[in-house]
Chain A
Amino acid sequence: MGNTNKTAGGWGFLALELDGVARAADGDTAGGATALAAAVLAAESAGFHAVTFKDSPAEGRLNALQRAAFAGPLTRSLVLIPEVDTAYTEPFHASTQLASLDYVSGGRAGWIATAEDDPAAAAAVGRSYVAGDGLAQEAAASIEVSRRLWDSWEDGAVIRDVASGRYLDAGKLHYVDFDGPGYSVKGPSIIPRPLQGQLPVLVPASLVGAGLVEPSGVDAVLVSAPTAELLAEEIRDVRERLGGGSPAVVVELDVVLDARGQGAAQRLGDESAIGKPGSGGTDGARRARFAGSAAELADLLTEVLEVADGVRLHPARFDVDFEELSRLVLPELRRRGVLAPVPQDGTFRDLLGLERPASRYAATAVGN
């Protein structure tokens, strides 16, 4: 099968989902900050390219963007990708928060744009429940608002020109005048253009397509399939559906490894050891689950990274599975030359092989 990967200088990247780390539990009033710091440092030194942070409502789960921001100053090369909902959040806030994450991480931020499909999430903020294509439309609108706001300060808008007494050049600041489904956003942003210009935006494949989130507005799609065997076919279908200049593909994969003297099959039979099976994909789609040895996982990932640009691993038990991943799986994948090099002092865009784009407003007339 032809390698259509976009990732720079290698086959693909590995992102590690950190859910379960730093869950605030009774009596743990530190909110797991120590565990979070340890986990991101361990992920970075194990050679993971990125970590992701789930955000849909769950007991003890702290706000994802804040966990990512906390990790920013602690890490050097690790890409930090929080989920931020688009259906029930304020697009203006989301845009500012994500741009801020890019600043505190030195350009290592990404965004998994989710659309919460949950009446409870609607009720929490007193909005009507959005379902079906409405969710994709909310996601499309919110992403468009962020992208415009990120561009609304052109590069170099902060001029610090002592002679004219101007800190800013208003000619490089732009109203975004977004008119969307039921709301509008004026702009400009309240924070300068993110370090990366535009943060890479990852979107569940189910939300992407004609009339949904346009593929051109997406840097990577998250692809799920019910089983690991079906992943290659699903990736092919998604690429076909999204057409030629389609976004990068990142595969969602649950992982249960033989560990600590227990076989994966054994661990699977013991729910307390692995958490609930099955669903819980970013888009509610079923996520494939791998259960087996480290060597078998290395084989699967080698196959998958031949057709995908990256994999997001969801360890069943962070501490248990992370140990096996870092000790056995990543070294083997590196030995096989399957992994993209970790960009040193690079950005998430560098990892994805994306240029830093000019602001969409850069060519327009002054003051517009």
Chain B
Amino acid sequence: MTQHSRAKYQPSGKLQFGIFFQGVNSGTIWKAAESGSQTDFESFRRIAQTAERGLFAAFFLGEGLRLREHLGRPHELDVAGRPDAQAMLAALAAVTSNIGLVATQNTTYNDPADLAHRLSSLDLLSGGRAAWNIVTTDNAWTGANFRRGGYLDHADRYTHAEAFVETAKRIWDSHDPATGQWQRVLHEGQHYTVDVTPRLPRSAQYRPVLFQAGDSPEGRNFAARQADVIFSAHPKLDDALDFRRDIVERTLDAGRGANDVKIMPASEFILAATPEEARDKKAWVRSLQIGPQQAIAYLEQFWGRELGEYDPDGPLPEIDPVVEETSETRGSGFHGAKARQLADQWRAEAKEKGLSIRQFVSAKTSRVDATFNGSYAEVADRLVEHARTGAVDGFNISPWLIPTGLDDIVNHLVPALQERGVYPTEYAGSTLRENLGLATPERASASAPTESAPLEARV
């Protein structure tokens, strides 16, 4: 690895867009007349081709390996039923030509040799447009769908993930173009062993681009060492600047350059021609995202009991939760909070702000700071600040409508950003690495030991 001086971070002054097709969430509106299918290929084709028309760098698919539940049975109120990321992206590779194809894939319930091979296949099929969004979801509830069950301690998720990613990188590095041969890759670790002779050559972008999503300090350090791009949770300008500073620091500490890790936060755009229309539209979007049933269900999940008798337009329930720890069954991100303490806090907060159940939940779930709401020109002006300060390298946009949810952005916001000089006017190249402005990795030397020091033991 080249040694970098602790050179300062240099803002590129540019933004990139990605589209995050969530597939399982309350942010996607299914109640509107224009809400399309979440599974038909035509929905995916339409939105991916729209994104490509808007010169988006990447099309992301999320992943959740167990169907979400609510009070012990499948959760009914939100969109669900998402195709396998890599199968869908391989199909999209056939009908797109420049956009990056990013598969969210879990390190806990995949095997490194198999996942590395499939990502390589996608990378080759797409002419160097594949990426892996590395997630570490580890709960035993998800594990119930897999051979190994819930084998991994939450505390070990990143140790495991890092050994996994190191192994995948060695698999991608194993091909020596000079000889046309592959080096055998061996890994013996605490959680798995790999002994494989890889069989695919490098792609047009060398190997898949690595994204990371996960916000804990361990997650950030992991990203600083391993990732090309962070799919972050901090779009608001001041938060984004804090996050950038934090990541630059960690990246330098990891011996990499200040500009080596890009940041693209998750975000939502609600736009219209005028500020007034945009405000109205936002109210409409929110009312469809969090209906009365969703509001009650959201609280039930933390209260651990049915709250059907409460009025969604009334105050938060005065009764206490029946669980000490909230469940993880909505997928990732809900574990750990102490329920009773949380209930007290929320009641106080709602009372202070004069919010009904529905208003409170809407505010909680819509992540106010992740939403850009306003006229095309207003929002374009705001985004210019993000570009100028280098707070982010772009945004990962979650559309609230499928498949038309990017139309406004591509038709109006993109041209406004281009006029302001902060958005690309053409694809820089045909690979994702080129389009994100990432350097080609250096191949680990061919004489590198084939036997790895067991990384999990080292950490």
Contacts and interface: CB of A to CB of B under 8 A. Distances in A.
B251 to A, nearest CB: 28
Contact of B76 (A37, A120, A169): A169
B165 interface: no
A97 B182 CA distance: 28
A100 B92 CA distance: 12
Interface string B74-95: 1111111111101110111111
B352 to A, nearest CB: 28
Nearest to A149: B145
Given A126-B194, A167-B30, A189-B67, A72 B94 contact: yes
Interface in A57-84: 57-63, 65-67, 69-74
A63 B121 contact: yes
Contacts of B199: 57-61
B87 A100 contact: yes
B77 A124 contact: no
Given A33-B124, A173-B67, A186-B66, A123 B196 contact: yes
B195 A124 contact: yes
Interface string A1-25: 0000000000000000000001011
Given A62-B200, A185-B145, A191-B82, 8 more contacts: A96-B84, A103-B41, A124-B196, A125-B113, A158-B81, A165-B77, A165-B294, A191-B83
Interface in B19-71: 24, 30-31, 35, 38-41, 45, 64-67
Given A72-B91, A125-B113, A29 B124 contact: yes
A84 B90 CA distance: 16
Nearest to B144: A186
Contacts of B124: 24, 29-33, 62
A106 interface: yes
Given A124-B195, A124-B196, A125-B113, A184 B125 contact: no
Q: Number of contact residues on B: which range applies?
A: 35 or more
Contacts, number: 216
Interface of B: 24, 30-31, 35, 38-41, 45, 64-67, 73-84, 86-88, 90-95, 109-111, 113-114, 117-118, 120-128, 144-149, 177, 180, 182, 192-197, 199-204, 291-294
A92 B65 contact: yes
B176 to A, nearest CB: 10
Given A26-B201, A66-B121, A103-B41, A190 B87 contact: no
Contacts of B64: 190
8 contacts: A31-B124, A33-B94, A153-B81, A164-B293, A167-B79, A169-B76, A173-B67, A186-B145
Given A30-B204, A69-B87, A367-B73, A120 B40 contact: no
B84 A168 contact: no
A197 to B, nearest CB: 14
Contacts of A173: 67, 74
Contact of B200 (A60, A93, A106): A60
Contacts of B86: 66, 97
**Main SS of chain B's interface residues?**
loop
A104 B126 CA distance: 16
A221 B347 CA distance: 63
Given A29-B124, A126-B111, A188-B67, A69 B90 contact: yes
A33 B122 CA distance: 10
Contacts of B31: 160, 162
Given A124-B195, A160-B30, A192-B39, A167 B94 contact: no
A118 B196 CA distance: 12
A159 to B, nearest CB: 9
A106 B93 CA distance: 17
Nearest to A367: B73
Interface in A150-193: 153, 158, 160, 162, 164-170, 173, 182-192
Nearest to B196: A124
Given A126-B111, A158-B81, A26 B91 contact: no
For chain A, give the interface size range: 35 or more
Contacts of A32: 124
A73 B45 contact: yes
Contacts of B203: 29, 31
B84 A191 contact: yes
Contact of A31 (B113, B121, B146): B121
B88 A104 contact: yes
Q: Which of B40, B90, B92, B114 has the most CB of A within 10 A?
A: B90
Contacts of A67: 90, 121, 125
B94 A73 contact: yes
A263 B446 CA distance: 44
Given A63-B118, A73-B45, A90-B146, A97 B84 contact: yes
B144 A184 contact: yes
A61 B120 CA distance: 11
A24 B81 contact: no
A66 B84 CA distance: 11
A29 to B, nearest CB: 4
Interface in A81-120: 88-93, 96-97, 99-101, 103-104, 106, 120
A249 to B, nearest CB: 29
A65, A74, A124, A160 — which one has the most chain B CB atoms within 10 A of its CB? Answer: A124
Contacts of B39: 103, 191-192
A69, A71, A123, most chain B CB atoms within 10 A = A69
A90 B125 contact: no
Interface string A249-261: 0000000000000
Nearest to B35: A160
A65 B114 CA distance: 13
A312 B180 CA distance: 32
A26 B177 contact: yes
B231 to A, nearest CB: 20
Contacts of A190: 24, 64-67, 80-82
A71 B195 contact: no
A104 B87 contact: yes
Contacts of A96: 83-84, 87
